[in-house]
Amino acid sequence: MQLYLIRHAQSENNALWEYSGSNLGRNMDPELTMLGRQQAEALARYLASDQANPETTDDPQNRSGFGLTHLYCSLMVRAVATGAVIARRLNIPLLGWPDWHEGGGIYLEDEGSGELVGYPGKDHTWFQDNYPELSLPPGVGDSGWWNRPFEERPQRWERARRVINELNLRHANDSHRVAIVTHGGFYNYFMKTLLDLDFSKEVWFVFNNAAITRIDFTDQELRLVYQNRLDYLPDELLSAG
């Protein structure tokens, strides 16, 4: 399996933090900014380049294309919006995979108490009306997909182990090229778990908006082919997120 982890394009919360350094006014489930939509379009064009005839071996920089066979996204709006642009450009199905959501889930901080309060998230009807190309997993109904308290840190480590196990179950086939649109914080939980790093050490994998990381899984080894790839974006479309 070739795994391509993609961070969603710039969201309204990313822009808020980048320009103010504050979470004041944070949206529990933000949309993409105009810059984010431009990033998503550029990302989709790049992933579609030479899509019809990608080489199958010895192409660590994807110079002959990506040839994606599967495309997933978390159910947070910024990831769905990014994934939908890719799905339309590549003409492949977009599948929702809730466990790839950002750390914490859908929540806001209560201004009075400071408590982090969980909210429902978007529901089945909202997704159908706004992103009909998205295939939702079972269980997403009219009451939202989250409907839980704020996700604490130990739960994120558990979730990282869970998605690794599920990836291996779904995509043990060597020919699968799997792209997942996810989030910067959870990406770090996933990478540290996958690479079996010491969780007590301060290690951070930079993962900009619309960046791509490629990891190859073989019978013999795990290969981190590249990380936080952004060379396809012009300077004016870069954002830290």
pLDDT in tens, 134-190: 999 998 999 999 999 999 999 999 999 999 999 999 998 778 999 999 999 999 999
pLDDT in tens, 64-110: 999 999 999 999 999 999 999 999 999 999 999 999 999 999 999 98
Question: Which burial class, exposed, middle or buried, applies to 240 when counting CB atoms under 10 A from its CB (0-12, 13-18, 19+)?
Answer: exposed
pLDDT in tens, 203-238: 999 999 999 999 999 888 999 999 999 999 999 999
The conformation of residue 220, written as its DSSP 8-state character, comes to S
pLDDT in tens, 106-124: 999 988 888 999 999 999 9
Give the domain range for residue 201: 2-57+65-237
Please report, for the domain that includes residue 101, its CATH number: 3.40.50.1240
**Angle formed by the axes of helices 34-48 and 12-20, to 10°?**
120
| Number of structural domains the chain divides into | 1
Query: What is the structure's pLDDT at 53?
Result: 59
Please state the pTM of the whole predicted model.
0.95
Q: Is the pLDDT of residue 21 over 70?
A: no
Question: In degrees, to the nearest 5, what angle opens at C-alpha 140 toward C-alphas 38 and 11?
Answer: 20
Confidence category of residue 18, pLDDT binned at 50, 70, 90 = confident
